[in-house]
Structure 1
């Protein structure tokens, strides 16, 4: 038997802001809120336990130090990479420099709180 990723937990200063951003990026909806201010988002009509992991945006006042040791990669599902890049930038993502040399076929971006993620080139079907 193996495990699978069911949830991704992201510590952040403003869970509501990141919940809106990542819901727009991934086509997710808000699934619930906890008393500590955490917000869970996930695929509409599925939620926890479905084929895609949910995300929990958890409030934290701890400052981030250094480069993230884990980041997300996302792929466009219904448009090409250039169109998806424009959409993500319009949602509030910004370009990030983590030492790329300019020959990569992906874009390194950061969410509104500076968490890096990559937009890959390949278009994949939505789940």
Structure 2
């Protein structure tokens, strides 16, 4: 089974969310998602300052198999993106919970994260999908 890191929140679209503060979260792609895609060869990052809505496209990843959308798990404004992914998209595969993060988002209210799953809920969710 794919690694599911405790202390993070998860979306049904296989993005992880790290709460940085009451107003900011860091978002990345889960190991489960990147294992399904295979080796990541390109990441299209969102624009800093762009508004995002939960369940809308945040960016995309291209793998040796396919192109897949990154779906925003929260509502807010993109505050920062991981520029390292432009030159090293493989970080999504090798360090999905570390250097492979995608964006930091300024969220609009705590309700932005209330629909996300805990690590235990996400483990059960991906078990039912495998």
Common topology (TM > 0.5): no
TM-score (structure 2 length as normaliser): 0.29
Q: Which structure has the highest helix share of the two?
A: 2
* Higher alpha-carbon Rg: 1
The structure with higher relative contact order (CA 8 Å, sep 6+) is 2
